[in-house]
């Protein structure tokens, strides 16, 4: 084993109109459902022998582990033209610093910051020994153009934990504000994150690298700038899992843990415990969020608001012409559409973000800031993953409504740069948000149920709504009900032969199931040209067998806190192919009925 040692507000009174689910049985319970990309991780435990049998114990989990033969690693790296030395890997902050103002005051002390987008802030190295707990080969090689073997080095531990700066890095902390649980919270900002710089990869993509848990910044408020193992494991695993579910998301490159003690009151009940510090190296095309614009509008920094908008549009919305007088309106329209579609995708996989504040909503409409999230077990539109959310504001069935609220706040932030006519148009655009959301959600659920064609829209809506109602009544498992409908043959459905299909057995106990099944089978028979096998294959491509359920994450966390990262590795590997049945996942029970103790789990904002 290699074990590296290193000691180095006012409440908002204008609530969004309700779009609660179940408001009308035909208006789709999509308003409803809504409203009422990776290789395995590698722990630093591997055999240094050239004996090919040496690493056979990990090959059962993945065929993507580095070969024990160094020549093979070099050969693969050369074929892919991957960088094998970290000193050749270069970042740049030049574009950001030249285009956007940086705080004139230096230092990591907490303060109110004005008239800038960033503050300079260096990471604070973690104390005690460091250990690489997890790494995403897909990110390291596929995005960062690095040979994954570089992650075994001492230098990688230092770079990816904040103890040493990569060439070209000039760390920055971003200033932003936000509405939290419906209230304006004022200045927030990167309180424990450091933007290391931008990387332009061989595919022409620019990615921003950021450390989370890397120490205090001017925006730390009352925090210590650290993150702990449990929250860092969740962020690492979920951001990668969401990518492979096909949901737009930030990515995670690595997870490094330390022996540094960090005090946390996990459930805010006075029970303070000592945990261990950890750092995630995460990536996104941009970390700008709704709150990035809100803080500028709120403080009357309108010239800077325009400057940031122009930069974001120029870098990430290149189809919008810089001289278009309606460019800000087109930008807003795009964000409205893509936010609606993103939340529909969340619902389609049973994902609840947990903290849908405006500072956690990306301007690029990707999922960011994984905190007290959760994937539903039993279908329940009132599922609340965040134990800190006493009122259920961010329950899974209200995410579309919250998205609308956040977009209203974004429009308020844009108002100073819009003409009166553009403001009226923007209001009309916003009114179309729910239709965009419903249309996308309807199509996603039609795909999940295997429906082809657009001629049966009214019947399809009825089948979807009734299925969800039956699932709610019987507390049927969300993920496995759809997955088992994908795996079962039409002959099994007709005979109601659900042997070893526990989710369908639960669903079939509903008094309306037989009637629903007759209509569902009739619908699947149209068009008649498709074979049942092809229908099953189509459905399995959109209905995952495995998602990161809270109990699975908790099991991995408990081991990780004892320095056993084997289940983190296993989950990372399995969740990189969530639509494929895997022996190791079946043995671990990841597609089985959740254990009883899963119902007692709580996740909070404390991290």
Helix H or strand E encompassing 330: helix 327-348
The closest alpha carbon to 368, from 527, 523, 242, belongs to 242
Three-class secondary structure of residue 375 per DSSP: strand
- What CA–CA distance (Å, rounded) separates 433 from 399? 13
98 CB-near residues (< 8 Å, 6+ apart): none
Element housing 463 (H / E): helix 457-474
DSSP string, 108-148: SS-----S-SEEE-PPPPPPS-EEEEEE-HHHHHHTS-B-G
**Per-position DSSP letters for 390-453, written without gaps between them:** TT-TT-GGGHHHHHHHHHHHHHHHHGGGS-HHHHHHHHHHHHTHHHHHHHHHHHHHHHHTT---
Residues contacting residue 232 through CB under 8 Å, at least 6 positions apart: 212, 213, 255, 257, 278, 279, 280
Does the annotation mark 359 as catalytic?
yes
Torsion of CA 256, 257, 261, 263, to 10 degrees: 80
Mapped onto helix, strand or coil, the DSSP state of residue 584 is helix
Question: Cis bond leading into 527, ω under 30°?
Answer: yes
Instruction: Read off the DSSP letter of residue 360.
Output: G
* Cβ contacts of 531 within 8 Å, gap of 6 or more: none
Q: E strand or H helix at 252, and its extent?
A: strand 251-264
The span from the CA of 43 to the CA of 107, in Å, is 35
Residue 459's region, left for phi above 0, alpha for psi from -120 to 50, else beta, is alpha
List the catalytic residue out of 147, 359, 461, 506.
Answer: 359
Q: Which two tokens stand for residue 134?
A: 């997890």
Residue showing tokens 């989710």:
503
Length of the chain: 607
Catalytic residue numbers, as ranges: 359
């Amino acid at each position: 084993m290699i074990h590296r040692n290193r000691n180095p507000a006012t409440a908002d009174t204008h609530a969004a109109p309700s779009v609660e689910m179940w408001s009308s049985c035909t208006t789709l319970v999509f308003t409803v459902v809504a409203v009422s990309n990776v290789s395995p991780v590698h722990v630093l435990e591997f055999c240094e022998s050239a004996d090919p049998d040496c690493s056979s114990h990990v090959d059962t989990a993945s065929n993507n582990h580095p070969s024990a033969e160094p020549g093979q690693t070099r050969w693969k790296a050369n074929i892919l033209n991957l960088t094998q030395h970290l000193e050749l890997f270069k970042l740049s902050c030049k574009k950001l610093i030249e285009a956007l103002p940086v705080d004139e005051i230096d230092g990591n002390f907490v303060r109110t910051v004005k008239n800038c987008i960033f503050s300079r802030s260096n990471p604070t190295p973690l104390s005690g020994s460091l250990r690489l707990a997890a790494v995403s080969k897909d990110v390291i090689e596929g995005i960062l153009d690095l040979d994954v073997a570089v992650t075994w080095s001492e230098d990688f531990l230092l770079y990816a934990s904040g103890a040493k700066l990569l060439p070209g890095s000039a760390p920055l902390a971003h200033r932003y504000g936000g509405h939290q649980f419906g209230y304006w919270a004022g200045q927030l900002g990167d309180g424990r994150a450091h933007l290391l710089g931008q990387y332009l990869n061989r595919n022409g993509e620019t990615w921003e690298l950021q450390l989370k848990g890397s120490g205090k910044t001017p925006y730390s408020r009352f925090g210590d700038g650290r993150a702990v193992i449990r929250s860092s494991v969740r962020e690492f695993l979920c951001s990668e899992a969401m990518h492979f579910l096909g949901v737009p998301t930030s990515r995670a490159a690595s997870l490094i843990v330390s022996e540094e003690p960090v005090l946390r009151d996990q459930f805010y009940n006075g029970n303070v415990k000592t945990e261990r510090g950890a750092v995630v190296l995460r990536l996104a095309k941009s970390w700008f969020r709704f709150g990035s614009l809100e803080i500028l509008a709120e403080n009357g920094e309108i010239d800077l608001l325009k400057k940031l908008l122009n930069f974001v549009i120029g870098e990430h919305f290149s189809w919008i012409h810089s001289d278009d007088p309606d460019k800000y309106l087109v930008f807003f329209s795009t964000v409205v559409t893509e936010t609606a579609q993103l939340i529909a995708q969340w619902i389609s996989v049973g994902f609840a973000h947990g903290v849908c504040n405006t500072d956690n909503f990306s301007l690029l409409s990707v999922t960011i800031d994984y905190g007290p999230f959760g994937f539903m077990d039993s279908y329940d539109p009132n599922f609340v993953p965040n134990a800190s959310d006493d009122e259920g504001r961010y329950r899974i069935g209200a995410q579309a409504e919250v998205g609308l609220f956040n977009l209203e706040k974004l429009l308020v932030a844009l108002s100073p740069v819009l003409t009166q006519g553009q403001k009226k148009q923007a209001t009309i655009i916003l009114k179309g948000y729910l239709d965009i959301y419903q249309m996308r959600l309807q199509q996603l659920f039609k795909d999940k149920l295997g429906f082809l064609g657009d001629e049966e829209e009214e019947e399809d809506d009825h089948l979807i709504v009734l299925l969800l109602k039956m699932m709610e009544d019987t507390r049927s498992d969300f993920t496995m009900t759809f997955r088992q409908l994908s795996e079962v043959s039409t002959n099994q459905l007709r005979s109601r032969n659900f042997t070893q299909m526990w989710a369908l057995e639960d669903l079939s106990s509903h008094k309306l199931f037989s009637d629903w099944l007759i209509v569902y089978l009739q619908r699947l028979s149209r068009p008649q040209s498709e074979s049942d096998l092809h229908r099953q294959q189509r459905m399995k491509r959109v209905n995952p067998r495995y998602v990161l359920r809270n109990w699975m994450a908790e099991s991995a966390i408990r081991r990780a806190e004892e320095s056993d990262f084997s289940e983190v590795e296993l989950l990372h590997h399995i969740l990189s192919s969530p639509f494929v049945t895997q022996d190791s996942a079946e043995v671990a029970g990841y597609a089985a009925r959740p254990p009883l103790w899963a119902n007692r789990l709580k996740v909070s904002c404390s991290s």
